[in-house]
Chain A
């Protein structure tokens, strides 16, 4: 079967670092994306990894290990506005993504 696993919730204080792990088991794999979704809003694209390694975009970084079927999203210098749900999504075909259940990140003062 196909599955994506990520923690349901993570809580951290402002200024801290949070790592959201995503492990996957899918019939096809072309890459791993991450999306952010605030309550009542639409998912917004954060990053995409097709190859192994770390991609850095400002305070957010994303990592992929294809051999381990594993990736993570790293949120640094947490801010209150980072409180949201974060989804990993696996590309199982061109343009076709399967989404994980999401991780609720709660940032406290």
Chain B
């Protein structure tokens, strides 16, 4: 099993540009989560999907953020336009039991 796969591992972009982060969950896992980690705010849940349907997006900071899960094996998190305060490590995680996540390696985003 390859685990949860995220791409890219690192992303450096200029303020105002669109950023798309990608995630492939573990096959058979029916829940997918997007988290953001910063030193100041720790690990924050942005949005999660169950069976490809968004269940709770109350953690999405603002309308600049959007997430999709078109099928069971792929999800995207898009930021448009990006701002320097969006700089963070973005983790995708998947789960089948509802209590233990498997996290991907994360995408380190730097907005300059």
**Main SS class of interface, B:** strand
Cβ–Cβ contact A42 & B99, under 8 A: no
Stretch at the interface among A62-70, A76-84, A93-101: A93-101
A1 to B84, CA, bound (A): 29
A74 to B110, CA, bound (A): 36
> How many of chain A's residues have a CB under 8 angstroms from any CB in B?
23
Cβ–Cβ contact B95 & A95, under 8 A: yes
Tell me if B34 counts as interface (CB < 8 A to partner A). Answer: no
Partner pick for A43 among B44, B45, B91, B95, CB 8 A cutoff: B91
Cβ–Cβ contact A42 & B103, under 8 A: yes
Known: A42-B91, A43-B91. A96 touches B103 (CB 8 A): no
Cβ–Cβ contact B45 & A98, under 8 A: yes
Minimal Cβ-Cβ distance residue in A for B106: A42
Shortest distance from the beta carbon of A6 to any chain B beta carbon, whole Å = 11
Within 8 A of B (CB), among A42-90: 42-45, 48, 50, 87
Known: A95-B31, A95-B33, A95-B50. A45 touches B100 (CB 8 A): yes
Give 21 A-B contacts (CB < 8 Å), ordered by A residue: A33-B99, A35-B101, A42-B103, A42-B104, A42-B106, A43-B91, A43-B101, A48-B100, A50-B99, A91-B98, A91-B99, A95-B33, A95-B48, A95-B50, A95-B55, A95-B98, A95-B99, A96-B56, A98-B45, A99-B43, A100-B42
Interface residues of A (CB under 8 A from B): 30-31, 33, 35, 41-45, 48, 50, 87, 91, 93-102
- 5 closest residue pairs by CB, A with B: A42-B103, A99-B43, A45-B100, A95-B98, A48-B99
Instruction: Other than A33-B99, A99-B42, give 4 A-B pairs with Cβ distance below 8 A.
Output: A48-B100, A91-B98, A95-B31, A100-B42
